[in-house]
Amino acid sequence: MYHNIAIHRALYASDEHQMVRQALIDFLKKEAIPHQEKWEKEKCAPKAFWRKMGEQGFLCMDIPQEYGGGGFDFSFNAMVLEESRRLGIDFGQAVHSDIVAPYILRYGTEAQKQHYLPKMVTGELIGCIGMTEPSAGSDLKSLKTTALDMGDYYLVNGSKTFITNGYVADFVCCAVRTDVGISLLLMDKELEGFTTGQPFDKIGIKYQDTCELFFEDVKVPKDNLLGEEGMGFKYMMADLPRERIGIAVESLGSAIGVLEKTLQYVTERKAFGRSIADFQNTQFKLADCAAEVQVYQAFLDRCIELQMQHQLSTEQASIAKLKATEMHGKLVDECLQLFGGYGFIWEYDVAKAFAGARVSRIYGGTSEIMKLIISRGLFKEFYRAKQKELAFQSNTNTQLNK
């Protein structure tokens, strides 16, 4: 069924990709799909499942072998995200494998890499990223969590909200305000004064746990500073394209999965003595959906290639996230309509996908913030020229007034 919808994916065509993909599908069908209902009630996928994912080599696939990883390229991480979402599985592996692990690999000391990465690969340690605060979401720079320099440790006070994996994680890569600006600290959950709220009751992706983190006089050893002090905001901005292409790819995977299920459903369901698939409306709607999927596959594959060459720009990643998540939302809505009333019932995958799709336009930067980034890129030269002109004018005025 999959190949009827998707175009040939040169990116995922190697024997190794095919082997990994099939192994992942077999694994998720056995170890995740049958347990989803229980995990949804518990609002969290258990640590034991993370360990199994790790044992099979599906976490942090592009971490180099010297740190226990598979040493694969980013296309394998992207394929894991896409395939998982195609099957309707979403437990926060993107945050762990595609945000936190790359931060540590890129900015960590050798001791930090040796401590965290091998265990993140096996799933023994689960990571989360703490940027958002109750009063700082889109406006990340206004975060208030403080880390006071106390000599050999930082004293951290504040809180984070909406943290994916926050409940199940063993540590957070946390954005804090230090004397010289925003910095990143690796904070282990065992530290005294570090507490976690209960997972939020969400309208979708119910077992990808999301919760609050609280810090009250937490003493964080100086060794846990990630990279340089005051560079945290720059690091986060530098790595956001990878997070955003990841979200775009997850949206594509979910859209493909929903389309596959809808194609099957409309051939089985009957009305007025015919299959739903026999109505031209159904055929045209699904033709549109398939066309959207193929167009986005081609575009996202190109973005993945650019990411593999470390050349994906902030603007390109924002375009990918903005457009793929919007396509995802519209496609799932159209497909749900073809399920009639059943599409509104939670046990149907299309209902779960519909609710889950909504957040992709919010987290990782909202659609509005994506538009801000894209438009800033468009007008960069215009504002640069304007600034030069203003500087020239003020210079000339100063000369004339002398």
Please state the closest distance from residue 295 (CB atom) to ligand FAD, in A.
25
Going by C-alpha positions, the residue among 215, 225, 214 that lies closest to residue 181 is: 225
Number of H helices and E strands in the chain, helices first, is 14, 10
Residue 164 binds ligand FAD, judged by CB under 6 A: yes
Please state the closest distance from residue 367 (CB atom) to ligand FAD, in A.
7
Please state the closest distance from residue 377 (CB atom) to ligand FAD, in A.
16
Residue 129 binds ligand FAD, judged by CB under 6 A: yes
Token pair belonging to 167: 């409940």
Q: For ligand FAD, which is the closer residue by CB, 27 or 214?
A: 214
For the CA atoms of the chain, what is the radius of gyration?
Answer: 23
Choose which of 162, 194, 235, 354 interacts with ligand FAD (CB under 6 A): 162
Residues in the interface with ligand FAD (CB under 6 A) total 20
Measure the N-to-C terminal CA separation of the chain; round to a whole number of Å.
78
Residue 132 binds ligand FAD, judged by CB under 6 A: yes
Going by C-alpha positions, the residue among 365, 371, 335, 372 that lies closest to residue 350 is: 335
Residue ranges in 365-394 that form contacts with ligand FAD under rule CB under 6 A: 365-366, 368-369, 372
DSSP letter, residue 33: G
Binding mask 51-90 for ligand FAD (x = CB under 6 A): ----------------------------------------
Residue 335 and residue 258 in contact, taking contact as beta carbons nearer than 8 Å:
yes
What is d(CA 252, CA 269) in angstroms, rounded to the nearest whole number?
26
SS (H, E, C) 294-345: HHHHHHHHHHHHHHHCCCCCHHHHHHHHHHHHHHHHHHHHHHHHHCHHHHHC
The sign of the CA dihedral 374, 376, 379, 380 is negative
What is d(CA 361, CA 325) in angstroms, rounded to the nearest whole number?
6
**Among residues 133, 212, 229, 243, which one is catalytic?**
243
Q: For ligand FAD, which is the closer residue by CB, 164 or 183?
A: 164
Q: For ligand FAD, which is the closer residue by CB, 84 or 210?
A: 210
Residue 259 binds ligand FAD, judged by CB under 6 A: no
Q: Which helix (H) or strand (E) holds 290?
A: helix 280-308
CA distances from 177 to 72, 215, 219, 237 (A): 35, 13, 15, 16
Residue 138 binds ligand FAD, judged by CB under 6 A: yes
Binding mask 339-368 for ligand FAD (x = CB under 6 A): --------------------x--xx-xx-x
Q: For ligand FAD, which is the closer residue by CB, 105 or 128?
A: 128
Please state the closest distance from residue 8 (CB atom) to ligand FAD, in A.
34
Residue 137 binds ligand FAD, judged by CB under 6 A: yes
Q: For ligand FAD, which is the closer residue by CB, 86 or 244?
A: 244
Q: For ligand FAD, which is the closer residue by CB, 162 or 296?
A: 162
Residue ranges in 191-230 that form contacts with ligand FAD under rule CB under 6 A: 210
Please state the closest distance from residue 187 (CB atom) to ligand FAD, in A.
14
Catalytic residue list contains 82: no
Q: Could you write out the DSSP letters of every residue in 191-253? A: STTEEE-PPP--SS-TTS-EEEEEEEEEEEEGGGEESSTT-HHHHHHHHHHHHHHHHHHHHHH
Binding site for ligand FAD (CB under 6 A): 95, 128-132, 137-138, 162-164, 210, 359, 362-363, 365-366, 368-369, 372
Name the residues annotated as catalytic.
243
